[in-house]
Amino acid sequence: MRWLSGLFSWMRRLRWVARRPRALGAPLDVHSVNILLPRPEAMMNDAPSELWLQHLRAELPFAPSGFAEVQPPANVRELTERLGEAFDALGLAVARACQGAALEDGAEPDWFVVLADRVLPLAAWMMGVGAPSAAEMPEGLREFAERARRVPGVGQALRLLGDLQKQLEQAFVQNERLRKQIVEAQAGYFLLLKVQVESRLAPLAGEGGAVSVRFDFPAAGQRVAELVPPPAPGSPTSGVVGRVLVPALTVSLQRGEAPPEVYRRGAHLRAR
């Protein structure tokens, strides 16, 4: 389970990289966006983080994207560069929208497309959303332990084999603890990402307006056909949710007294 240390090493090295805010009306600048990224100088030679990415590449599908980035990053350097480019593209799209870029009726604004198709899938993959957890006990072993509790006489045999049942129970407790740590690490990151994205989108609402960003994770076992919003393109449309690769995204813009503008994109998921 050495790869797990890579996730927490990754989380410890995350920081805000604050680039100077761009004044509205000034020339567009690809470096005018605040981004939440790993510290490149601390990550490039960080073996646990590289181990974490190797684990993700082996275990976690990379969500489809409208930007042809269908292959997961090969290493920390590539991941950092792609995240930076995605956030830069988001900043440029926001700046264009603030300058009055035209939007076709019914079309999603460029900034929302970049956020939904580039930033969010990459951030979710980086945090291991949807990866089979090494803390998850194989189902066969779990079923064996359950049967052992119900069959008369098996308990004595297990004790003769080194109290295997007790060891299994301890393993279950440890696995639950590790799974909780993974979930907490992911939740902490998405909370920071929410704050960061709301800050980045704030100019769209104007003075006195408000921006709200929400990430939703459909629960395993929910019927896919009943999800609101519907699953993202490329996801199954029937069956039940097996695992979520990218959360659903909702962005609400409140400009003055006008009704809020709401943009939604469903979660990328796998069904079972």
HSE on the CB side for 49, CA within 13 Å?
Answer: 25
* Cα–Cα dist 253/211, whole Å: 5
| Residue 93 CA to its chain's centroid (Å) | 22
List, for residues 71-90, the tens digit of each pLDDT value: 888 888 888 888 888 999 99
| Residue 96 CA to its chain's centroid (Å) | 26
List, for residues 187-235, the tens digit of each pLDDT value: 888 988 999 899 999 999 888 889 999 999 999 899 999 999 999 988 8
Residue type, 59: E
* Cα–Cα dist 15/257, whole Å: 36
- Express as a percent the part of the chain with pLDDT over 70: 62
User: How many Å from the N-terminal Cα to the C-terminal Cα in the chain?
Assistant: 26
Residue type, 63: A
Question: 126 and 6 in contact (C-beta within 8 Å)?
Answer: no
List, for residues 150-199, the tens digit of each pLDDT value: 666 655 555 545 566 666 667 677 767 777 777 788 888 898 899 989 99
* Cα–Cα dist 89/82, whole Å: 10
β-pairing verdict for 241-246 and 210-216: unpaired
Query: Which residue do the tokens 């440029």 mark?
Result: 92
Residue partners of 249: CB distance under 8 A and separation at least 6: 115, 116, 120, 213, 214, 215, 216, 264, 265
> What is the per-residue DSSP string for 213-244?
EEEE-PPTT-BGGG-SSPPPTTS-SSSBEEEE
